[in-house]
């Protein structure tokens, strides 16, 4: 896929495993040639706290969406993953700056 198509995120948008699976793939920095190996599925399943069968299904959808690349994830996947994490992490309110006492 030469250009990333954000509409393909629809393939994973409702998959609760997708954020953890993408993060696991990114952290392992594996080549795409290892995608179908059982040891790869086991490693990702352990990191994603999911079953190898569920990981396999999610990886198939991520591959179809063009989100996996050699040794990482696509820029689109990275942007989506950052947004998902940002939405789940509580935002801290900035502390008021102390007034300058002169």
Asked if 55 and 17 count as a contact pair (C-beta separation under 8 A), the reply is yes
Q: What is the pLDDT along the chain (102 residues), one digit of tens a residue?
A: 447 899 999 999 999 999 999 999 999 999 999 998 999 999 999 999 999 999 999 999 999 999 999 999 999 999 999 999 999 888 777 776 666 666
First to last CA, the chain: 61
């Amino acid at each position: 896929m030469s250009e990333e198509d954000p509409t393909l995120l629809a393939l994973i948008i409702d998959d609760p495993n997708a954020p953890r699976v993408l993060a696991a793939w990114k952290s392992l920095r594996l080549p795409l040639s290892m995608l179908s190996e059982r040891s790869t599925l086991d490693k990702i399943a352990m990191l994603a706290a999911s079953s190898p069968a569920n990981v396999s299904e999610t990886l198939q959808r991520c591959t179809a969406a063009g989100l996996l690349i050699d040794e990482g994830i696509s820029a689109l996947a990275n942007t989506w993953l950052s947004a998902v994490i940002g939405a789940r992490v509580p935002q801290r309110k900035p502390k008021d700056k102390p007034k300058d006492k002169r």
